[in-house]
Amino acid sequence: MLCGASANQMPRLVFLDIDTQIDFMLPSGKLYLEESRHIFGNLHRLLEYALLNQILILQTADTHTEDDPEFAAYGFPAHCVAGTEGWRRVPETYLIPDLILSSGGEWVQPSGRERVILIEKPSFSITSNPNALRLVEALRPCHFVAFGVATEGCVRRSILSLRSLNFEVSVVIDAVAPGRIKRGEQTLEEFASLGVRPLLTEDIDSGKLLAEDHLNRISFR
């Protein structure tokens, strides 16, 4: 059985890397977010820190079919179609997952040794994958540290979903990128009103987050 921390422990850290995929982050991508060009280095630093400190990494991947009705519903071009080049992660965030949770597939019980779990999601929020919802519930209590793209899109929806489930969430504000700058700024203001803690990459890279909150590394049992 998965668990986060025992009842007398502080919540443990889980890093949440949201949709850092080629179709969003490279100029060749189908739904390129130009502002993402500023965050590559910080994304790499965050994931490197998590691996060195044995912090569980959840990576979401926007995952669509070729004729996904979401494209027409929101006026999006076809993007992040499963198995295509654009669906893959950029080199700075590419990690080989220990476990893949597909949407609509059967629940796969983690072994307890995973360091990276890939979550395929059919829509904006991490919880649009029922298996992901089951996973995060099993990780209670934990503190999510979120980053990725797009600030006002999948990052926002995923953070709102986690907050609605009463999880503690921080957002790394120099490791998220918006589609539209103004809407990204409004989203960060919304996060603050919801108790989402703003962090900088250097806060984490320096160990400040662990020192201040006494958060333990994630574990399973």
pLDDT in tens, 24-80: 999 999 999 999 999 999 999 999 999 999 999 999 999 999 999 999 999 999 999
Q: Residues 24, 148: contact at Cβ < 8 Å?
A: no
Overall average pLDDT of the 141-158 stretch = 97
Task: Find the radius of gyration of the CA atoms of the chain.
Answer: 16
Distance CA 202, CA 200 (A): 5
pLDDT band (50, 70, 90) for residue 99? very high
pLDDT at 206: 76
pLDDT in tens, 164-219: 999 999 999 999 999 999 999 999 999 999 999 999 999 987 776 666 654 444 33
Distance CA 80, CA 85 (A): 8
List of domains in the chain: 12-213 (3.40.50.850)
Half-sphere exposure of 52 (CA within 13 A, CB side): 10
Distance CA 153, CA 136 (A): 20
